[in-house]
Amino acid sequence: MSLRNTATRQVFFHNGRFHTLKDALRFYVQRDTNPAKWYPKDDHGKVDKFNDLPVALRVNVDTADEPLTRKVGERPVWSERDIDDVAAFLATLNDGYRR
């Protein structure tokens, strides 16, 4: 997998949930600090993290590497400015490819 042309994509993730690079980055930065923003609640009112994956595969989700180690209520590791900066950097990796 390459980061080349990442910023030109119109769909992100295995399920196509996000349609902007910044939203995809924001999800990674905030999914653990504010999971209620990104995931639905189950029948018991608990946030159902990683609900788009089969239960057996949820253990494969990276929660050990930064910035994916934060806990609910903690400040995200990246600010909105950091997200903008990373998106701008990824845009420099475009090679002009057009579908």
Taking residue 65's Cβ as centre, other Cβ atoms within 10 Å add up to 7
Q: What is the pLDDT of residue 46?
A: 96
Q: What is the pLDDT of residue 85?
A: 98
Return the domain boundaries, the chain: 6-91
Q: What is the pLDDT of residue 1?
A: 66
Q: What is the mean pLDDT of the chain?
A: 92
17-38 mean pLDDT = 95
Q: What is the pLDDT of residue 14?
A: 84
Residue 40: is the preceding peptide bond cis (ω within 30°)?
no
Tell me how long the chain is. 99
